[in-house]
């Protein structure tokens, strides 16, 4: 009988794309995608660890799956489903959940997602009872090869996985691993595959797209791409080179990308954005805090003044819109620090701002600092910024 796979995705666009690629592999193996969890042979929860709230949601969903299983097995005698906790939480909470939730029989890290269909088959066939794989290594390129797309008009294309920036509050480098780059040729081919499917809009995904610097090295055996005369070092293919190559592809109507880290977002990128008809004139540029002291504690690598000056150049050169991420209540954040954050929101006037309350993440550098801004105070600062941003968004 045809088997059915159900997937619930929590977290960011990276996870949306990972779930899509994974579903594609299941479909290629003959599975059907179902939205009815009661019918599923394989139930997957693709998780996020970035804040406690995201982890709590996944744990409560995994708990609710136990009821689905209990209502199923004795009555209709059907096989028990695979219940998989996959993605970012595998490495932060996987071992604990494996011990505490016996009905979760598959745990797989974000790097090893391409193995999930193989692991599911092993369990379904009875070769193994439970599998946990928390490895962090480079993904196999074929993970991205399925033609399946949730959206027929727009595609996410991963350019890198992981992150090596180690912002002090952030769990991503620990759960997604070190920064790893896809080969430029593989990215370009994936974009072309999307275009041949009729997709016209592409969003490139990387935790910090500016970190994309592909080193060809002397023994590189693939197709070397050189993005034009301006490229100074012929052995390096940068994010700007990648954009220039994609800009040349017929059939693309819109290219955008997330996320850009202010510490290495360059004016060269702005000139390219200004001169391209295809690159969307919008930049997601998270500033996190307006206080130089807090920015230093966050290990962000820029100051309030540098951020404002970058934004002024963006507005002058690209004449586009901006969005951002902000954290309130980072350890030791005072009212004065907070007012600097508020000041950036007022000065820059973002189209959107995603405002978060600091959430302590185990193993991060910031976890060594006392989480000393009270819950009430975090909520007050969060509310003030949300209300301010609501007014500002309306004026743009």
Residues that bind ligand SF4 (CB under 6 A): 163, 165-167, 170, 172-173, 207-208, 261
Indicate the DSSP class of residue 219: T
Q: Which residue spans within 114-170 are E strands per DSSP?
A: 131-133, 154-158, 160-161
Q: Indicate the residue among 12 and 23 with the shorter CB distance to ligand F3S.
A: 12
CA distance 239 to 159: 9
What is residue 368's three-state secondary structure? helix
Taking a C-beta distance cutoff of 8 angstroms, is the pair 89, 61 a contact? no
The answer to the question of residue 45 lying near ligand SAH (CB under 6 A) is no
Residues 6 or more apart whose CB falls under 8 angstroms from that of 301 comprise: 261, 263
Look-up: residue for tokens 């962000």? 300
Please, what is the minimum distance in Å from the beta carbon of residue 178 to ligand F3S? 13
CA distance 376 to 325: 21
CA distances for 160 relative to 14, 183, 259, angstroms: 10, 9, 11
Q: Where are the alpha helices (DSSP H) in the chain?
A: 13-28, 52-76, 88-100, 116-124, 172-176, 184-196, 239-247, 267-275, 292-297, 304-317, 335-348, 375-394
Q: Which does 182 bind (CB under 5 to 8 A by kind): ligand SAH, ligand F3S, ligand SF4, none?
A: none
Please, what is the minimum distance in Å from the beta carbon of residue 82 to ligand F3S? 21
In this chain, which residue has its C-beta nearest to ligand F3S? 11
Query: Of 42-61, which residues contact ligand F3S (CB under 6 A)?
Result: 48-50
Look-up: residue for tokens 């029989």? 105
Indicate the DSSP class of residue 168: T
DSSP code per residue over 56-88: HHHHHHHHHHHHHHHHHHHHH-PPPPEEEEEEH
Provide Rg for the chain, Cα atoms. 22
Q: Quick one: which of 5, 7, 14, 43 contacts ligand F3S (CB under 6 A)?
A: 14
The answer to the question of residue 169 lying near ligand SAH (CB under 6 A) is yes
Q: Indicate the residue among 109 and 207 with the shorter CB distance to ligand SAH.
A: 207
Q: Which does 220 bind (CB under 5 to 8 A by kind): ligand SAH, ligand F3S, ligand SF4, none?
A: none
Q: Which does 48 bind (CB under 5 to 8 A by kind): ligand SF4, ligand SAH, ligand F3S, none?
A: ligand F3S
Query: Of 67-96, which residues contact ligand F3S (CB under 6 A)?
Result: 88
Burial class (CB in 10 A: 0-12, 13-18, 19+), 362: exposed
Please, what is the minimum distance in Å from the beta carbon of residue 371 to ligand SF4? 18
Q: x/- contact string, 158-187, with ligand F3S (CB under 6 A)?
A: --------------x--xx-----------
The answer to the question of residue 104 lying near ligand SAH (CB under 6 A) is no
Q: Which does 285 bind (CB under 5 to 8 A by kind): ligand SAH, ligand SF4, ligand F3S, none?
A: none
Indicate the DSSP class of residue 140: P
Q: x/- contact string, 48-87, with ligand SAH (CB under 6 A)?
A: --xx------------------------------------
Q: Indicate the residue among 170 and 188 with the shorter CB distance to ligand SAH.
A: 170
Q: x/- contact string, 252-291, with ligand SAH (CB under 6 A)?
A: -------x-x------------------------x-x---
CA distance 318 to 329: 33
Please, what is the minimum distance in Å from the beta carbon of residue 333 to ligand SF4? 17
Stretch that binds ligand SAH, among 54-62, 75-83, 236-244, 352-360 (CB under 6 A): 352-360
CA distance 312 to 305: 11
In this chain, which residue has its C-beta nearest to ligand SAH? 325
Stretch that binds ligand F3S, among 11-19, 146-154, 298-306, 330-338 (CB under 6 A): 11-19
Please, what is the minimum distance in Å from the beta carbon of residue 12 to ligand F3S? 3
Phi, psi (5° rounding) for residue 87? 90, -155
CA distance 181 to 139: 10
List interacting residues with ligand F3S (CB under 6 A).
Answer: 11-12, 14-15, 48-50, 88, 172, 175-176
């Amino acid at each position: 009988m045809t088997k059915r796979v159900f997937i619930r995705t929590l977290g960011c666009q990276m996870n949306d794309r990972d779930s899509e690629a994974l579903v594609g592999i299941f479909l290629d193996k003959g599975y059907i995608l179902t939205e009815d969890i009661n019918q599923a042979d394989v139930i997957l929860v693709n998780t996020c660890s970035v804040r406690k709230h995201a982890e709590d949601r996944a744990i409560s969903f995994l708990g609710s799956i136990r009821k689905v299983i209990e209502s199923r097995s004795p009555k209709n005698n059907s096989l028990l489903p695979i219940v998989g906790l996959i993605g970012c939480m595998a490495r932060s909470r996987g071992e604990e959940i494996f011990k505490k939730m016996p009905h979760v029989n598959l745990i797989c890290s974000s790097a090893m997602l391409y193995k999930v269909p193989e692991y599911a088959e092993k369990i379904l066939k009875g070769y193994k009872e439970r599998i946990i794989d928390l490895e962090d290594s480079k993904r196999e390129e074929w993970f991205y090869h399925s033609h399946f797309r949730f959206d027929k008009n727009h595609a996410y294309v991963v350019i890198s996985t992981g992150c090596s920036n180690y912002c002090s509050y952030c769990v991503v480098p620990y759960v997604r691993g070190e920064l790893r780059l896809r080969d430029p040729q593989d990215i370009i081919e994936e974009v072309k595959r999307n275009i041949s499917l009729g997709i016209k809009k592409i969003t490139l995904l990387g935790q910090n797209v500016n970190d994309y610097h592909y080193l060809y090295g002397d023994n590189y055996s693939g197709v070397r791409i050189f993005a034009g005369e301006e490229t100074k070092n012929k052995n390096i293919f940068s994010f700007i080179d990648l954009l220039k190559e994609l800009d040349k592809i017929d059939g693309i109507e819109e290219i955008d990308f997330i996320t850009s880290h202010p510490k290495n977002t360059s004016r060269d990128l702005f000139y390219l954005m200004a001169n391209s008809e295809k690159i969307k004139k919008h930049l997601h540029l998270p500033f996190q805090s307006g206080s130089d002291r807090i920015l230093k504690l966050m290990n962000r690598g820029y100051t309030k003044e540098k951020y404002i000056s970058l934004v002024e150049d963006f507005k002058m050169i690209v004449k586009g819109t901006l969005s951002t991420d902000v954290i309130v209540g980072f350890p030791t954040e005072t009212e004065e620090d907070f007012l600097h954050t508020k000041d950036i929101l007022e000065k820059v006037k973002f189209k959107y701002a995603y405002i978060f309350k600091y959430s302590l993440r185990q193993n991060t550098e910031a976890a060594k600092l006392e989480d000393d801004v009270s819950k009430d105070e975090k909520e007050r600062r969060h509310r003030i910024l949300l209300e301010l941003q609501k007014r500002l968004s309306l004026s743009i």
